[in-house]
Amino acid sequence: PFITWRDADGTEISANVAAGTNLMRAAVDAGVQGIHGDCGGALACATCHVATDTAWAERLGPPGALEDEMLDMVEGERTPTSRLSCQILARDELEGLVLIVPACG
Ligand code: FES
């Protein structure tokens, strides 16, 4: 699916992401500033923090329990739609997804 990352300045980077790829890896590969993925997707760093609008948040579903705990450790501000992007796998239904990359705290 076609995924877009938008940073706090409104700068956008988009990429066509292969199904099954996690969206932290896809962001790093696409050169998105502000997504680091220091732990490699092991739910141990919270440096892959993104948010969405509420419509996309509903389609993505809520974070898992461990992800929810890790979201309390993000740099910057956690929002009601915050997710850790290593926990979101690209799939066809996510075509057009826009991920908001929070300003680093
Ligand atoms: Fe470390 Fe997502 S990459 S929690």
Closest protein CA for atom 4 of ligand 1: 43
- Considering the segment(s) 2-100 as one domain, its CATH architecture is Roll (3.10)
ipTM given for this complex: 0.99
The string of pLDDT tens digits covering residues 36-66 is 999 999 999 999 999 999 999 999 999 999 9
> Domain locations in the chain?
2-100
Residues enclosing ligand 1, CB less than 6 A? 24, 37-39, 41, 43-48, 70, 84, 86
The string of pLDDT tens digits covering residues 68-104 is 999 999 988 999 999 999 999 999 999 999 999 988 6
> Would you give the distance in Å from CA 9 to the centre of its chain?
17
What is the C-alpha to C-alpha distance for residues 43 and 41, in angstroms, rounded to an integer? 6
* Those residues with Cβ within 8 angstroms of residue 17's Cβ, 6 or more apart along the chain or in another chain: 1, 2, 3, 23, 26, 90
State in Å: Cα 54 to ligand 1 middle.
22
- 2-6 vs 98-100, strand pairing mode: parallel
